[in-house]
Structure 1
Amino acid sequence: MKEIKVPELAESITEGTIAEWLVKKGDQVEKGDPILELETDKVNVEVNADAGGVITELLKEAGDDVEVGDVIAKVDENGEASGETAEEESKGEEKQEAPQEETKKAEEQDSQETSSEKQAEPAGKSQASDEGKDKGEVVATPAARKRARELGIDLSDISARDPLDRIRPEDVDSHAKDDSKEEAKSSGKQEASKQQKKDTSSEKKEFDKPVVREKMSRRRQTIAKRLVEAQQSSAMLTTFNEVDMTNVMELRSQRKDAFLKKHDIKLGFMSFFTKAVVGALKEFPLLNAEIQGDEVVMKQFYDIGMAVSTDEGLVVPVVRDADRLDFAGIENGIATMAQKARDKELQLSDLQGGSFSITNGGIFGSMLSTPILNTPQVGILGLHNIEKRPKVMPDDTIQARPMMYIALSYDHRIVDGKEAVQFLRRIKEMIEDPYDLLLEG
C-alpha cells in the first residue's frame, strides 16, 4: 500500500485547500496522473500520483485544508480496479441483504465460545487469554470486534467486565456511552465558549433578516490576510497627481491601426505607463527596492507586476524585464498574463519576484483610490478613469482636457515624500510628452 502525500509546492506555499478530486475510490491510476486540484493562495495546482495502482482510500474531502506532507490518499500498487470494485459492491449487497443473519451468527459463535471456555476452565483466566495478554493482543469476541469496528472504537481502550478478560458487545456499547457523555460534556463547554465569543464578537453577528453565509476561498482569505499585513508591516503613504492624456490619446489614435497591423495586438495605455514607470524607477531606485531585515535591497532589474482582476480575486502576474521590451512586447506580455489569469493557467513562476506593481482601477470607472502595496515591494502605481475636466492652459485660457488622476502608494520607511512626489511627477512628464518617451524607450 502506497501513501500519496501533498508534495512540496513552492518555498512560500505550505498549505492549500482541496478544490476538486479528479479520481474516486476504486479508480486505476498511473504514476504521474493528476488526482486532485489544490487551491493555494496564489494559483490552483494539480497534485499527481507518485505511484500507479488502485485508489483504495481518499482521506480528505473537497473543501478540506491540507498542508505539505499530509497523507491524502492511499494506492494499492498490486490492485485491480474492476476486481476491487466488484468485490466492494458484492460486500455492500451482502451487507444490505442479511445484516440480521450476520449479527445472529456472530452472537451464536460468541455463545458457543463462551460455553466452551466455561467447561474447559471453570475458574481463573484461560490459557488462551493469558497467551493473548502476554503477546499484547486484545481478547474479544467476534461480535464485540464487529461492534467496535462499526463504532470506530479501539478495542485496547475498552475495559472488560468478563472474569476471563474477554471483551463482549455490551462492553463496547458501555464504552461508547461513556465516550458520548464525555463528548457531550466537552461539546457543551465548546458551545458555551463559542456562544461567549459570538456574544462578544462584532465580526460575526446574527441578523433579523435573511442572509447568505459562504466560506471564503483560500485565495480570498490570503488576499485579505496580506492586505492587512501590508498595512500593518509597512509605513504606507499615498501621493497623488493628475495627468493630461491629450498627447498620448492623439499619438495612440494616429498609430493604433499601423501598430495592430504590424504586431497583431492593440496599442493600449498600459504600455505607455509601463515605459514611464521603468524610466522613473531608473531615476529613483529606492522605489525599485525592498527591505530585508536591516538591509535595503535595490534591484537592478525591472519586473513589473500587473494587477489583474479575476472571479476568484486579484492576482498580480509579472511582466519580466520590462526595460528590455518595446511597446509591442509589453502589450503582448500584459495580454498573455491577463488571459492566463482568467483561464486559471497561471504558474507560480508567473507571480513571483516582481519589483514594482501597476494597478488600473480606471477600467472599472474608479476616479481616485489609494492602492495597497504588494509587499515586499515598496511602491505601486494606481491608474484611474479618464474624464474631461476644465484645465487652465499656459495662455490662461480654459480648455476641456482628458485628465487622469494617478496615485503612488509607497513605503515611507525607505522612500521619503520628496522622492515619491518627484517620481510621480516624472511619470506625469513622460506621459504628457509621449514622443520623448518613445525616443528614449
Structure 2
Amino acid sequence: NGTIAKLLVSEGDTVTVGQAVIEISLGKHEASQPAETQPAPQAVEEPKGGEPSQDSESQTETKSLSRKEPTMQSAPSKPAAPAADAKGPVSAYKGSRAERREKMTRMRLRTAERLKQSQNTAAFLTTFNEVDMSKVMDFRAQNKDDVLQKHGVKLGFMGPVARASALALKQIPAINASIENGDTIVFRDYIDLSVAVATPKGLVTPVLRNMERLSVVGIERGIADLGKKARDGKLTMDDLAGGSFTISNSGIWGSLFGTPIINMPQTAVLGIYGIQQRPVAVNGQVEIRP
C-alpha cells in the first residue's frame, strides 16, 4: 500500500511509454503523514491613523464626483450639438470578439498527425462514379420493417455498400493490400473494414473484422455496435487496431462529392455521398432515378 506523494506531469501533458508520472510513498508511517498545507493568507491590516486605503480613496472620489455632477448639470452651457442624422451609418454589431483556446485531446492530435502523414506519404488518385441506387432503395423499403422486427437492426445503406465492397475487394485483392517496408506488398485473404465515425472527441475509425463473412444485416449490426461504442467512449485499442479498407460516409451531412484521405497503411478509401433524384437516360427515355 502507498500514497501518491507527487504528480510529475500536469493535466494535458504528452507522456511517452515508460515515463514516470507519479511518485508513491510506501509504508504506514509515510502514508499517515499529513499532507503539506499552505498557510492561510493573513488578513490585510486596515490603514492606521488618517491614511485612507485605496478603497476609501475610491469611495471618496466617487462621492466627490457624485456631489459635483448636479453642479455641472445646473451650470449654463452652450446649446447641445444637433443629433446625428438617423439615416447616417450606424454600427449595428454588438457581438463578442472574445477568443478561447483549448488543448487538443490526445485522440484528436493523433488523428491529425496520421492524416497529415498520409497526405505527405501516399500518392493520391481520386475517381468519381455515380451509382443508380433505385434497386437498393427498393430493397431497403421492402425489408427494413422485417429486419428491424426480426433482428433489431435498422437497415440503412452502409450494409449494402459494404457488402458490395467486400465482393469487389475479393476480385481485386490489390485494393485490400498494403505496402510493407517500402518494397513488399502484403495481400490479405480477409477484409477488416475501418468505419469512420465522428464523435465529440474527434474522428475515429473502429474496425469490423472479417467483413467478407458477414451478411448485409450482420454488417449493419456490427457497424451500429461500433458506432455506439465510439459515441459512448468505450472503444478499446483492439477495436481501433488494424483495418485493411475504409468506408467514409459523408452523405449523412448532405455532401455530394469529396476527396477522403487514405488511412495509412491501407491502399484505398471509399467515400459515399448524398443520394439525389436526377433525370437520366434509361433505354432511350428520360427517367428520374436516385
- TM-score under structure 1 normalisation? 0.51
Q: Give CA-to-partner distance per residue, 1:271-300, whole Å, 9 cap, x none.
A: 101110010001111000000120111111
The answer (yes or no) to whether the contact 1:53–1:80 under 8 Å persists in 2 is no
The answer for the alignment partner of 1:199 in structure 2 is none
1:278 match: secondary structure: helix
The answer for the alignment partner of 1:282 in structure 2 is 170
In terms of fraction of residues, the more strand-rich structure is: 1
Extract unaligned runs of 5+ from structure 2: 43-96
Question: Aligned ranges for residues 253-332 of structure 1 at < 5 Å?
Answer: 253-293=141-181, 294-332=183-221
Could you tell me which of 239, 247, 257 is aligned with 1:358? 247
Deviation at 1:79, TM superposition (A): 3.3
1:80–1:274: structure 2 CA closer, same or farther, 3 Å change rule?
Answer: farther
Q: Give CA-to-partner distance per residue, 1:227-275, whole Å, 9 cap, x none.
A: 1211211111111100111111111111111111111111111110111
1:97–1:359: structure 2 CA closer, same or farther, 3 Å change rule?
Answer: closer
Question: Aligned ranges for residues 362-401 of structure 1 at < 5 Å?
Answer: 362-394=251-283, 396-401=284-289
Could you tell me which of 112, 120, 144 is aligned with 1:224? 112
1:296–1:77: structure 2 CA closer, same or farther, 3 Å change rule?
Answer: same
Q: Give CA-to-partner distance per residue, 1:389-411, whole Å, 9 cap, x none.
A: 111111x2111211xxxxxxxxx
The answer for the alignment partner of 1:54 in structure 2 is 3
What letter matches 2:194 in structure 1? G
Deviation at 1:216, TM superposition (A): 2.4
CA distance in 2, matches of 1:257, 1:81: 65
Deviation at 1:82, TM superposition (A): 7.7
- TM-score under structure 2 normalisation? 0.76
Q: CA RMSD in A?
A: 2.0
The answer (yes or no) to whether the contact 2:25–2:31 under 8 Å persists in 1 is no
1:238 match: secondary structure: coil
CA distance in 1, matches of 2:269, 2:185: 17
What letter matches 1:312 in structure 2? K
Could you tell me which of 125, 145, 154 is aligned with 1:237? 125
1:56 match: secondary structure: strand
The answer (yes or no) to whether the contact 2:144–2:155 under 8 Å persists in 1 is yes
CA distance in 2, matches of 1:62, 1:283: 49
CA distance in 2, matches of 1:221, 1:92: 37
1:291 match: secondary structure: strand
CA distance in 1, matches of 2:263, 2:199: 17
CA distance in 1, matches of 2:18, 2:129: 49
In terms of fraction of residues, the more helix-rich structure is: 1
1:275–1:97: structure 2 CA closer, same or farther, 3 Å change rule?
Answer: closer
Could you tell me which of 67, 71, 74 is aligned with 2:23? 74
CA distance in 1, matches of 2:239, 2:205: 9
1:97–1:321: structure 2 CA closer, same or farther, 3 Å change rule?
Answer: closer
Q: Give CA-to-partner distance per residue, 1:363-398, whole Å, 9 cap, x none.
A: 11111101110010001100001111111111x211
CA distance in 1, matches of 2:166, 2:159: 11
CA distance in 2, matches of 1:211, 1:280: 49
CA distance in 2, matches of 1:319, 1:398: 40
The answer for the alignment partner of 1:343 in structure 2 is 232
Extract unaligned runs of 5+ from structure 1: 1-51, 99-208, 403-441
Give % identity.
Answer: 43
What letter matches 2:25 in structure 1? D
Residue 14 of structure 2 is aligned to residue 65 of structure 1: yes
1:92–1:380: structure 2 CA closer, same or farther, 3 Å change rule?
Answer: closer
Deviation at 1:97, TM superposition (A): 9.7
CA distance in 2, matches of 1:80, 1:329: 58
The answer (yes or no) to whether the contact 1:54–1:79 under 8 Å persists in 2 is no
